[in-house]
Structure 1
Amino acid sequence: MAVSGVVLTAPTPVVSVKPVVLEAPGRGEDLRVRVSAPAAGDDLPIVVLSHGFGSSLNGYGPLADFWAAHGFVVIQPTHLDSRTVGLPQDDPRTPRLWRFRVEDMKRVLDGLDLLEAAVPGLGGRLDRTRIAAAGHSFGGQTAGNLLGLRVLDPVSKKEEDLSDARIKAGVLLATAGRGGADLTPFAAEHFPFMNPSFENMTTPALVVAGDQDDSPLSVRGPEWLADPYFLSPGDKSLLTLFGAEHSLGGIAGYEVQETTDENPERVALIQRVTWAYLRHALGIEDAGWAAARKALSDGTDPLGRIESK
């Protein structure tokens, strides 16, 4: 039986190339990227996937592998906060890590020709009119910036529109809510870039939040992670996962230590619902998303609930 009513397309073998290196003047490190693509199919939509703090292009296999096996080209940059980069805490780039992340995502979009050419057999198979941004945790804020989320920069003390018209939809997983008084003193001191505003985040998005994700960064509890849905305008949906903590059942990687709530069924639900949403939001087909909404709209499913506005 299909999880959440979503009927999948047949999976295809995946071709994955890493690292593809994009020159990044002014960043201090070239940008290392992983590209995963289905071995068959044309007019392939694209998802640029931003990892959480400390992860890398090697993370998020449960999402990247699934999306690629079912028709998406998945591009994963390694941001400067990755443990694989090893940036010292006192590095002068540290206060702007959030901004370098957004620039990484835009550099990926600017470098699609090179990335396409790096994968054997991928040439001419991308649909560049259908591009989505996705991210988990810190990566959710990064993806959100491309959708219109704005950050009060701790250096310039200004908000800037960093949205990108090439991005047509987003998936924000376990993404931080409002800053200011909603942050713990520790978060306010150590993560001053966690001051997002959602009023201009107009691009369609699916927000995914766990109802047990009691973040140590906020004084508000799990509902804080739903702010990107409730505080943003336009076409948005919220998938609330019952019993889920910050790793949402294990999306950050296969058997990773930071998964505190391992749940294969929950991960399978996220895989299918996000896939169906992306196909809907990018104008590919609506049946899967309609089935997911129908199955999860009343809150009686033990895994989660979907609401939309």
Structure 2
Amino acid sequence: MTTSESGLAASPIVSVKPIVLPAPERGDDLHVRVSAPVTGRDLPIVLFAHGFGSNLDGYAPLVDHWAAHGFVVIQATHLDSRRLNLDADDPRRPRTWRIRVADMKRVLDELDVLEAAVPGLAGRPDRGRVAAAGHSFGGGTAAILLGLRVTDPETGAAEDLSDPRVTAGVLLATAGAGGDRLTPYAAENLPWLRDVDFSHLTAPALVVAGDKDDLPMTTKGPEWTTEPYTLSPGEKSLLTLFGGEHLLGGISGYDAAETTDENPARVALVQRVTLAYLRHVLGVESSTWAAVQAGDPMGRLESK
């Protein structure tokens, strides 16, 4: 056992993939990865939703860190993954945002299967303590599980797709409000962003945003990814990373070639603050969350 930069003991982890959950109505079975510490009981659960095009192997700098510090982290490969490479005219494409949410609910429904697939894990997770986390498109997935409402471009309805089993979230570089803030490209190609309602996103969440994350989907600039914090009610915290772009220093992988702001210290800050928040909000302990309030020269942390 080693001690990480957070000051908390890090344990060896076990990771099993792919665990295949049959999903005939989805068109492709759901492939899942589960990572967990090899020791410990009453382990809280984090559902992690990847960004557009990624897969269950992504985001190891966060997934490994959380698992090594006492969390069961569950990742799925969603239909927008480049691994599945859906045809441009695949009828599921306009519904990928919604199918992602169904994927996460299926994971929760199949926890017995997932636990049994990981040697020594059965009976150790605490199913009463579940958080959802995600990056970019995945942050939107997590937010919907927590109460964000999206007007379905196919039906015109803004249904409540939240899940009461999920009680908190970590939203990383996640989209803000739609409307006239969207670029014409986003309005046409990402229609689920057009009309979103943050007023029901009352569950506690940590929002992480880079102050240089200038995305092509919005005319709002980097401030757009702070809106899950500013526009939603309830207990929220916001970590703003100075100089951070969309991959927040390189959270998508240890050797992520797409990272444009590669900075191990920035990734370490995201690891430290997200871990402290998850431990706090899921009732493990709050001393590390209190400690990170002291601030860091690479970012600003605020709460409401």
Please report the TM-score for the alignment, with normalisation by the length of structure 1: 0.96
| Aligned counterpart, 1:262 | 262
| Aligned counterpart, 1:143 | 142
Tell me the distance in 1 between the aligned counterparts of 2:21 and 2:71.
Answer: 21
The number of residues matched between the two structures is 301
Deviation at 1:8, TM superposition (A): 3.2
Deviation at 1:10, TM superposition (A): 1.0
Tell me the distance in 2 between the aligned counterparts of 1:284 and 1:13.
Answer: 19
| Aligned counterpart, 2:233 | 233
Tell me the distance in 1 between the aligned counterparts of 2:74 and 2:196.
Answer: 25
Tell me the distance in 2 between the aligned counterparts of 1:89 and 1:97.
Answer: 13
Tell me the distance in 1 between the aligned counterparts of 2:197 and 2:61.
Answer: 30
| Aligned counterpart, 2:246 | 246
Letter in 1 for 2:302: E
Bigger shift: residues 56-65 or 250-259: 250-259
**1:144-200, CA deviations, whole angstroms, 9 ceiling, x for partnerless residues?**
000000111110111010111111110000000001100001110110011321100
**1:10-29, CA deviations, whole angstroms, 9 ceiling, x for partnerless residues?**
11111000000111131000
| Aligned counterpart, 2:219 | 219
How well do the aligned residues superpose, as a CA RMSD in angstroms? Answer: 1.2
Pairs within 5 Å for 1:26-41? 26-41=25-40
Letter in 2 for 1:281: V
Tell me the distance in 2 between the aligned counterparts of 1:59 and 1:39.
Answer: 21
Bigger shift: residues 49-58 or 149-158: 149-158
| Aligned counterpart, 1:92 | 91
| Aligned counterpart, 2:169 | 170
Deviation at 1:302, TM superposition (A): 2.3
Whether 2:303 is the aligned partner of 1:308: answer yes
Deviation at 1:9, TM superposition (A): 2.2
**1:266-285, CA deviations, whole angstroms, 9 ceiling, x for partnerless residues?**
00010010000001101111
| Aligned counterpart, 1:71 | 70
Letter in 2 for 1:245: E
- Could you list the runs of 5+ residues in structure 2 that have no partner in the other structure? none
Tell me the distance in 1 between the aligned counterparts of 2:280 and 2:162.
Answer: 21
Tell me the distance in 2 between the aligned counterparts of 1:284 and 1:28.
Answer: 38
Tell me the distance in 1 between the aligned counterparts of 2:48 and 2:6.
Answer: 23
**1:43-85, CA deviations, whole angstroms, 9 ceiling, x for partnerless residues?**
1110000000000001000000110011100000110000011
- Secondary structure at 1:35's aligned position in 2? strand
Tell me the distance in 2 between the aligned counterparts of 1:286 and 1:58.
Answer: 30
**1:207-250, CA deviations, whole angstroms, 9 ceiling, x for partnerless residues?**
00000000110001000100100000101000000000000000
Letter in 2 for 1:203: A
| Aligned counterpart, 1:114 | 113
Bigger shift: residues 90-99 or 195-204: 195-204
Tell me the distance in 2 between the aligned counterparts of 1:55 and 1:29.
Answer: 16
Deviation at 1:7, TM superposition (A): 4.2
Tell me the distance in 1 between the aligned counterparts of 2:117 and 2:272.
Answer: 28
Q: Which has the higher contact order (CA 8 A, sep 6+)?
A: 1
- Secondary structure at 2:127's aligned position in 1? strand
Tell me the distance in 2 between the aligned counterparts of 1:208 and 1:216.
Answer: 19
| Aligned counterpart, 1:185 | 184
- Could you list the runs of 5+ residues in structure 1 that have no partner in the other structure? none
Tell me the distance in 2 between the aligned counterparts of 1:190 and 1:8.
Answer: 44
Deviation at 1:89, TM superposition (A): 1.4
**1:256-306, CA deviations, whole angstroms, 9 ceiling, x for partnerless residues?**
12111000000001001000000110111110111111x12xxxx321001
Letter in 2 for 1:307: E
Tell me the distance in 1 between the aligned counterparts of 2:8 and 2:174.
Answer: 29
Tell me the distance in 1 between the aligned counterparts of 2:130 and 2:64.
Answer: 17
Letter in 2 for 1:305: R
Tell me the distance in 1 between the aligned counterparts of 2:267 and 2:37.
Answer: 21
| 4+ residue segments displaced more than 6 Å | none
| Aligned counterpart, 1:83 | 82
Tell me the distance in 2 between the aligned counterparts of 1:95 and 1:72.
Answer: 33
Tell me the distance in 1 between the aligned counterparts of 2:288 and 2:144.
Answer: 27
